[in-house]
Amino acid sequence: MDYRIEKDTMGEVSVPNGKYWGAQTQRSLENFKIGIEKMPKEIISAFAFLKKAAAIANNKLEILDDIKCEAILKACDDILENRLDDNFPLVVWQTGSGTQTNMNINEVIANKAIEHMGKDFRVEKLVHPNDDVNKSQSSNDTYPTAMKIAFVLEIQRHLIPSIIKLKYTLEEKSVEFKDIIKIGRTHLQDATPLTLGQEISAYVEMLNKALLQIEDCMKYLVELAIGGTAVGTGINCHKEFSNLVCLSLNELTKTKYPFTSHPNKFHALTSHDSEVMLSGVLNALASNLMKIANDIRWLASGPRCGIGELNIPENEPGSSIMPGKVNPTQSEAMTMVAVQVMGNHTAVSISASQGNFELNVFKPVIAYNILQSIKLLSDSILSFNDKCAIGIEPNLKNIEKYLNDSLMLVTALNPYIGYEKAALIAKNAHKNGTSLKQEAINLGILTKEEFEKYVKPEEMTYPKMY
């Protein structure tokens, strides 16, 4: 590979020709050969939006000239339009402030901007990564700002639409199945009846709550650290810079959730409680998705030797040895995602606790885990909806059989004959392998007519007067 020489404050370093990064990016590549987890593309795009907004703000404040500003804006657009994707090679496991990724962005933008000015960046350094691209900024305020921009945009673009899509599917199923009476289950044991629509309505409410909780998080995620610079004081930064950057970001990203300047930059640099709040909401969503997926795979278990109250789409062969076997693969995928998100939340929580004095230096791992959680949840919800939930159908034969076989229908007799007599009927029916009706008659507790008057499964799915 052909190399060129780049310089920084620590001296010279060889950088591959054909790449726009500079000396600081190269040093990071050489010093942090750890893992395979690259800085997420969403962070790179968020940085491009931020650097573009910062250039516009500095130009309005008359501290960045028109020519450099225009060149920087074009370079940022190159990043946003995916023309420079192979210029961001750094791993997550680097400096905890994200300094090297900030400088990777600065160097690529600076060198590409020089090209946009018609010059050779290897010869003429007309745009400086620190003095021009990073003007009025520090890694300590740009990285947490880019994190939040990425979170907000990914949630808005992907997670919320996925949740809404699955919610609508389940709402339709809840209405469609509202009159199908089935046996309930608590403690994995038979319980009193409910409708299949009622059972599914719980899943709809879980997703409604997730959407409301996400909206609550957004109030804090839109508060940006930019303008705090090194420790929160705003040194080397114009007092109007932060507000101008936020205004430009809102125009550039067209976000539904407008970004604002964080009211306390000291808090913004050292504390990531809003990120923990978001991760907690993702964790709660994962917990509920685990429940939904597990319910559906148990209800669809069988097809002949399980519960089998639901039929789900048969998408692919389920076994390399058992012919004809089909597995609940979408449920399995989503439950694995849920486990990963729960683990990510632990990592985020511990990382956010490591804000020492004026700076938290676990920012890249916070960003990586939250973005992975958002991505996995968005994708798995969409997949589960399209490949499973839409195709759910009731197995009416099994539903009716389990309903009629259940001993817990005896609960309807409590108001009329009392708990102890009702329990005696159920125990005798279980012991003798008979029906509730037969044992109620055999024990002389009820007549056939009385039993049929009191035990009506369709009337056990809602409160009523005795």
- In three state form, how does the secondary structure of 322-384 look? CCCCCCCHHHHHHHHHHHHHHHHHHHHHHHHCCEECCEECCHHHHHHHHHHHHHHHHHHHHHH
Who's near 298: CB < 8 A, 6+ residues apart? 306, 307
Give me the pLDDT at residue 464, please: 81
Question: What are the start-end ranges of the H helices in 61-186?
Answer: 66-80, 99-116, 139-154, 160-176
Instruction: Please say whether the beta carbons of 147 and 46 come within 8 A.
Output: yes
- Residues marked as binding? 97-99, 128-131, 138-140, 186, 320, 325-327
- Residues marked as binding for substrate? 97-99, 128-131, 138-140, 186, 320, 325-327
Catalytic-role residue among 14, 116, 187, 272: 187
Cα separation, 184 vs 461, whole angstroms: 10
Catalytic-role residue among 319, 373, 406, 430: 319
3-state SS assignment for residue 406: coil
This prediction has a pTM of 0.97
Closest CA to 24 of 139, 113, 115, 116: 139
Query: Counting runs of H as helices and runs of E as strands, what totals does the chain give?
Result: 17, 10
Query: Under the phi-then-psi rule, with left for phi > 0, alpha for psi from -120 to 50, and beta for the rest, what region is 313?
Result: beta
Burial of 212 (0-12, 13-18, 19+ CB in 10 A): exposed
* pLDDT per residue of the chain (466 residues) written in tens, 0 to 9: 799 999 999 999 999 999 999 999 999 999 999 999 999 999 999 999 999 999 999 999 999 999 999 999 999 999 999 999 999 999 999 999 999 999 999 999 999 999 999 999 999 999 999 999 999 999 999 999 999 999 999 999 999 999 999 999 999 999 999 999 999 999 999 999 999 999 999 999 999 999 999 999 999 999 999 999 999 999 999 999 999 999 999 999 999 999 999 999 999 999 999 999 999 999 999 999 999 999 999 999 999 999 999 999 999 999 899 999 989 999 999 999 999 999 999 999 999 999 999 999 999 999 999 999 999 999 999 999 999 999 999 999 999 999 999 999 999 999 999 999 999 999 999 999 999 999 999 999 999 999 999 999 999 999 986 5
Cα separation, 107 vs 87, whole angstroms: 10
Residue 187 falls in the annotated catalytic set: yes
Class of domain 143-230+271-318+331-385: mainly alpha
Q: Which H or E run contains 157?
A: none
Fold of the domain built from segment(s) 407-459: Ribonucleotide Reductase Protein R1; domain 1 (1.10.40)
Question: What type of residue sits at position 322?
Answer: M
Q: Where are the domains of the chain?
A: 3-135, 143-230+271-318+331-385, 407-459
**CATH code of domain 3-135:** 1.10.275.10
**Alpha-carbon separation of residue 245 from 128, 239, 259, 334 (angstroms):** 20, 11, 9, 39
Give me the pLDDT at residue 465, please: 63
- Rounded (5°) CA angle 374-378-384: 145
Residue 158 falls in the annotated catalytic set: no
